[in-house]
Amino acid sequence: MIKHLLLVLGAIGLSACNILPERPAVSLYQLPTSTIQASSETDSAVVSSLRLDRPGTSDALGSNRILVLAANNSFEAYPGARWSAPVPTLWRDWLLDAFWREGSIKQLSVSADGLQAQLELGGMLRALHTEYRNGRTDALIRYDALLIDTRTREIVASRRFEARQPADGVDAASAVRALGVAADTLAAELIRWTLTVATDSR
């Protein structure tokens, strides 16, 4: 009886394995490495230390899906493709690397490290996706940046940054390439602004 029961359970298990569909393969992407070059004025840095906080985002941007905004203002995810980390973390870590590459600020960290810093860069990430409009696909990054004095917790300055870049295709890989170019454009402006604000507030 027990033998018979085990055979039946085994047969059910095998049939279940055959019925369940195989999981489709998922490609993981990261933003292309920043191409920002080291500043020639690294010895005259006016910010001794900076820490980067994870930006706030909408629920749609809070996951690791690579999104496209359709003409009817609805988000769709590129099938079989994901970012290697949730978008807020992806953006913070990419920006940290861009600041390191530029080199003007020697002491960089993230808020999660719990380290002291002169200024903190945070804000709201409004867009990091592609948009499909009028037959073309554009990458869009929109970041509302806040510079905060860590001693007083007062906002030193705030500014909206936005960058667009046409994509050379409609697939996820094309979207990632275009977002990488847009990120570089935005980061170069953001770093200049950060250093200028720090100079003016001394």
Q: Is 39 domain-assigned?
A: yes
The structure's pTM equals 0.85
pLDDT, tens digit (0-9, with 9 covering 90-100), for 115-158: 889 999 999 999 999 999 888 999 999 999 999 999 999 999 99
Tens of pLDDT along the chain (202 residues) come to 554 544 444 444 544 445 555 667 899 999 999 999 998 764 455 678 999 999 999 999 999 999 999 988 999 999 999 999 999 999 999 999 999 999 999 899 998 888 889 999 999 999 999 999 888 999 999 999 999 999 999 999 999 999 999 999 999 999 999 999 999 999 999 999 999 998 776 6
- The residue range of the domain holding 150 is 27-200
Q: Is 15 domain-assigned?
A: no
Number of domains within the chain: 1
Q: Is 116 domain-assigned?
A: yes
Q: Is 6 domain-assigned?
A: no
CATH of the domain at 179: 3.40.50.10610
CB 29, CB 85: distance < 8 Å: no
